[in-house]
Amino acid sequence: MEDLVESILDYIRSDYTDYAVMINGEWGSGKTHFWNNKVRKKIESMQLNGRRYTTIYMSLYGISNLEEISKKIFIETTQLMDKNLRKYMNNNEQTRIPEYAKTGIDMANFFGVTQNGDKIDYSEFFATDDKVLCFDDLERANVDVIDILGYINNFVEHDHIKTIIICNEKELSTKLKSSNLEMKTFIATYLLDKQNELNKADKPMVEKIRDKIEHVFDKANDYERIKEKLIGETFEYAPKFDYIINGILMRYESNPDLIRFLRENTGFIISTFNKSGTRNLRILKHALNDFKKIYEMVSKSYPNTSNRVMQTMLIFTIAVSFEIKAGKITKDKFVNIKDNEEYKSILVSSRILMDNRQFYIKEFDNNYYYNFKAEYRFFKFIEYYVRTRIFDMKLFKENMEKIRNTVDTENLPGYKRLLTEEYWKIADDQFGQVIEEVYNDVKQGNLQLIDTVKIFAYFSYFSRKGLIQYDLKTLKQTFFAGMNLASLKSTYCPNPKEELGKIAIEELEEDMDEILKHFNELNSQLLDKMYKEKAEEIMKCIPMKMEQFYEKFDKQCMNIPIFKYYDPYQLFQRISCASNEDIVLIKEKLADRAEKYTKQIEPEMKNIKQLKQILDDYLKGKEPTIKTVMLKDFAKELGYIIDKYKPSFLPRKEEKIEEVEE
């Protein structure tokens, strides 16, 4: 960096220059920091021919017209006339006026008064031979870059003012090509049409339009021409990040424990920064600020958290920040991963199911945790904090409690070690103990039904490889019995295929067929159990809590055969006690539902027929009242629904068979 500073100072020392110099570097790489802390201070400490130089810095970020640049220059120079203001800034080590203060100065100048009450002498402007202009963020201006460079050229060529331009030429090039693209495409298409080029098949249309845009609107060439005239030297800013990162850490010296931890783990910070593939120090600063809050919260609420977990949190915070904020991924890549266990399951199964999310997570883990071993590598509360800027205390406590209980693999249940780790990572002296523990859990039905099936796949594999002493016949008997017990406490698994895809064995053996068949039977029973509970919960809202009934029925029951799981006699009693208005509304809902989800609700038709029969029997011989008329209409609508399932309305069996064969 010192060589770069010296090269810029050589430019300032030159007696006569009619060109500017450019500092080019990526966004967030510290170019502005380099100017403020290295270049500016050196320039202002120089004394040439008995005079000192004054630097005038202007960010072009958001500038929408050239007048705003003139205004900024005026404010930055005029403020130096006010001795009181200059003294205040010197005492407080201020290098430039904050933007909000410039507004006040601007209004004071408008009324012809400075901040200390004196009138401005407009004839008293500074000479130009002791000024150095610095224009930053060229690529972020909202004015045509060509116009800005032409404007700056006036200072350089005519007034010979030393001028430094800071920018990111890579982004500048992208901006030049992509600005007003719709308008350019329209005009290019119009010109091609006028030249009878549109209908010719000599080259693809997209290529024709692109070539015409480049020919007519070649801003890049215009930029190169004016740059060649204006810019005498371009310096590539490629900082030594180790040095800069050490400087960034100094801001945390007010917290002795935090700064000590960061200093001890500077290697991880630098390594993770380098692995991000960006040069963006701004994102790193934000990530370290986020980690400051995380570190303080963990230290306060969970002071005994291991150093290894804190190191992993540091790496994860920086890694996720770069992945999300550098635009490398969309934010939803991590959204559906609910915890560390699911994250590890994805890693284990990534060789089997090659979907996009699994591929990305595997690459993320391989990149940032390469040669770094840690049991807990995904922190949902950190990911959520970085992504949403909300520090969720409930999520934080849930994560930390789980870390406290499971971070030591020796305290992790054996079955979870098999399901969330690669089994070959289990040490030989621990393997037998893990197998025995898991086998006992299966026998006692302690696991979820789907997890029991997954464990059988591993045990079958281990048995064939001679890693365990249990033969396949014994295993099947034990697991069948264990599955029966597990089903009493398990919940229905809606996605067994996806869950079984997480097994870290490339080919499942034929031994799985009987186990899977038994699982499907038990899982089907769990589905019935779940629907029965749902039916009871929803139907009991009739007739006293109809608003709750409508809300739950619309959200949860429109496309499932819920009436299959509720007694028709009880349903009749509830409906007959409902208000006439509610009877009509329920009837309309059932009719609409039968139209939209005819096939899905077919299994409930037996109970619907029974409900109609109960209604018909009840209404025989009844005197007409509004209630009985409404119930008759209800029964009639049920008849229309039942008719949808008569043979003439349904595909013939032959047609169904053909569809399956296709």
Q: What is the 3-state secondary structure (H, E, C) of 359-386?
A: HHHHHHHHHHCCCCCCCCCCCHHHHHHH
More confident residue, 156 or 453: 453
pLDDT for 124: 41
- Other Cβ atoms less than 10 A from the Cβ of 400: the count is 19
Does 12 have pLDDT greater than 50?
A: yes
Which residues, 6+ apart, have CB-to-CB distance to 61 below 8 Å?
136, 137, 140, 141
321, 290 in Cβ contact below 8 A? yes
Q: Give the Cα separation of 484 and 523 in Å (integer).
A: 11
pLDDT band at 123 (very low <50, low <70, confident <90, very high): very low
Q: What percent of the chain stands above pLDDT 90? A: 38
- State residue 218's pLDDT score: 54
pLDDT top residue among 120 and 71:
71
Is the pLDDT at 191 greater than 80? The verdict is no
**For position 101, what pLDDT does the model report?**
47
294 within 8 A of 262, measured Cβ to Cβ: no
Q: Which residue has the higher pLDDT, 369 or 407?
A: 369
Q: Say which residue, 2 or 153, is predicted with more confidence.
A: 153
For the ranges 109-118, 195-204, 355-364, 483-492, the lowest mean pLDDT is seen at: 109-118
Mean pLDDT of all residues in 150-175: 82
What is the arithmetic mean of pLDDT over 404-411? Answer: 61
Is the confidence at residue 294, as pLDDT, over 90? Answer: yes
User: Which of 284, 323, 392 lies closest to 292, judged by CA?
Assistant: 284
For the segment 219-240, the average pLDDT, to the nearest whole number, is 74
- Section 134-151 average pLDDT: 85
The predicted pLDDT at position 630 comes to 94
Proportion of the chain above pLDDT 70, given as a percent: 78
Cβ(401)–Cβ(362) below 8 Å: no
* Residue 164 near residue 20, CB atoms below 8 Å: yes
**C-beta separation of 74 from 105 below 8 A:** no
- The per-residue pLDDT for 363 is 87
Give mean pLDDT, residues 115-140. Answer: 64
Strand partners, 591: none
Residue with structure tokens 């963020």?
A: 137
Beta-strand ranges (E) seen in 566-658 are none
The pLDDT of residue 121 is 43
Write down the pLDDT at residue 106: 53
User: Residue 120 has what pLDDT?
Assistant: 45
Three-class secondary structure of residue 504 per DSSP: coil
Contact between 250 and 243 (Cβ < 8 Å): no
Residue 457: is its pLDDT beyond 80? yes
Q: pLDDT at residue 215 above 90? A: no
What does the alpha-carbon distance between residue 43 and residue 39 come to, in Å, rounded to a whole number? 6
Q: What is the mean pLDDT of residues 348-370?
A: 72
Contact 388, 319 (CB under 8 A): no
Report whether pLDDT(620) > 90.
Answer: yes
Q: Report the C-alpha dihedral over residues 273, 274, 278, 284, rounded to 10 degrees.
A: 10
Q: Pull the structure tokens for residue 381.
A: 């509360």
Average pLDDT, rounded, for the chain: 81
pLDDT value at residue 504: 66
Lowest mean pLDDT among 91-105, 223-237, 345-359: 91-105
More confident residue, 250 or 633: 633
Phi, psi for residue 577 in degrees, rounded to 5: -90, -5
122 SS3 class: coil
**Tokens 């997954």 map to which residue?**
454
Give the integer Cα–Cα distance in Å for 318 and 325: 10
Burial status of residue 350 (CB atoms within 10 A of its CB: 0-12, 13-18, 19 or more): buried
| pLDDT at position 375 | 78
| DSSP class per residue in 510-528 | TTHHHHHHHHHHHHHHHHH
Is the pLDDT at 243 greater than 60? The verdict is yes
Q: What is the DSSP letter of 200?
A: -
> Could you tell me if 543 and 574 are in contact, meaning their C-beta atoms sit under 8 angstroms apart?
yes
Q: Is the pLDDT of residue 91 over 80?
A: no
Report CA torsion sign: 473, 478, 482, 485: positive
Q: Give Cβ neighbours of residue 449 (< 8 Å, ≥ 6 apart).
A: 483, 486, 487, 490, 493, 519, 522, 523, 526
More confident residue, 234 or 30: 234
Pick the range with the lowest mean pLDDT from 145-154, 310-319, 349-358, 400-409. Answer: 349-358
- pLDDT (0 to 100) of residue 303: 87
Model confidence at 73, in pLDDT bands (50, 70, 90)? confident
Buried b (16+ CB within 10 A) or exposed e, 506-518: eebeebbeebbeb
Asked whether 362 and 337 are in contact (CB, 8 A), the reply is: no
Look at residue 519 and tell me whether its pLDDT is greater than 50.
yes
- Residue-wise pLDDT tens digits, 535-594: 999 999 999 999 999 999 999 999 999 999 999 999 999 999 999 999 999 999 999 999
Q: Of the given ranges (53-67, 266-280, 322-336, 568-582), which has the lowest mean pLDDT?
A: 322-336
Q: Can you give the pLDDT at residue 631?
A: 95
For 2-176, CATH number?
3.40.50
**pLDDT attached to residue 342:** 86
Structure tokens at 165: 């331009």
* pLDDT of the residue at 493: 93
At 661, the pLDDT band (50, 70, 90 cuts) reads very low
How many whole angstroms separate alpha carbon 83 and alpha carbon 90? 10
Under the banding of pLDDT at 50, 70 and 90, the label for residue 447 is very high
